[in-house]
């Protein structure tokens, strides 16, 4: 997992220079229609770090190709400059490289409901899932891109 220092070294500190950070790294991605048609709860536009577009699109396409997209019930966000829950560290959402899905079914420190195949599709495309974290920090709704 990338450290906060690695993220700041790559993208800068979004708390110290939000406008500069957003101008350099953040974009509105127009999600391809075939993805939003197959997964209607995915927004038509997502504001995220441009480095995450290709891996997110590839992951959605793989989920659709394997019928795993049907596990997605809700889109619960991407970019949000905030601290990690229960920590003074910065959330990966602050860099626009994390997404939350099915928050009500996969609550923080709660049961993870994704199938092993669903999680494998994310991992294969460079994402890590909070489902893999310790019981104290388990966050099954959370996927963060680690491929930079």
Helix (H, G, I), strand (E, B) or coil at 128: strand
Kindly list the domain boundaries of the chain, sorted by start residue.
Answer: 4-145
φ/ψ of residue 51, rounded to 5: -65, -25
Q: What is the pLDDT of residue 56?
A: 98
The angle that helices 53-65 and 116-124 make with each other, rounded to 10 degrees, is: 140
Contact present, 140 and 112 (Cβ < 8 Å): yes
Q: Of all residues in the chain, what percent carry a pLDDT higher than 70?
A: 100
Which DSSP category does 36 fall into? H
**Any idea which fold 4-145 has?**
Muramoyl-pentapeptide Carboxypeptidase; domain 2 (3.30.1380)
pLDDT in tens, 109-142: 999 999 999 999 999 999 999 999 988 889 999 9
């Amino acid at each position: 997992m990338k450290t906060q220092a690695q993220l700041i070294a790559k993208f800068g500190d979004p708390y110290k220079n939000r406008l500069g950070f957003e101008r350099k790294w953040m974009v509105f991605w127009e999600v391809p229609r075939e993805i939003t048609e197959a997964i209607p709860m995915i927004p038509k536009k997502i504001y995220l770090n441009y480095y995450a577009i290709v891996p997110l699109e590839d992951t959605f396409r793989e989920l659709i190709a394997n019928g795993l997209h049907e596990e997605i019930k809700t889109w619960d966000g991407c970019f949000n400059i905030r601290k990690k829950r229960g920590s003074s560290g910065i959330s990966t959402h602050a860099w626009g490289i994390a997404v939350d899905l099915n928050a009500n079914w996969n609550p923080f420190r709660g049961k993870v409901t994704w199938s092993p195949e669903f999680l494998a599709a994310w991992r294969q495309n460079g994402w890590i899932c909070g489902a893999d974290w310790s019981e104290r920090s388990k966050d099954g709704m959370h996927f963060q891109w680690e491929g930079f």
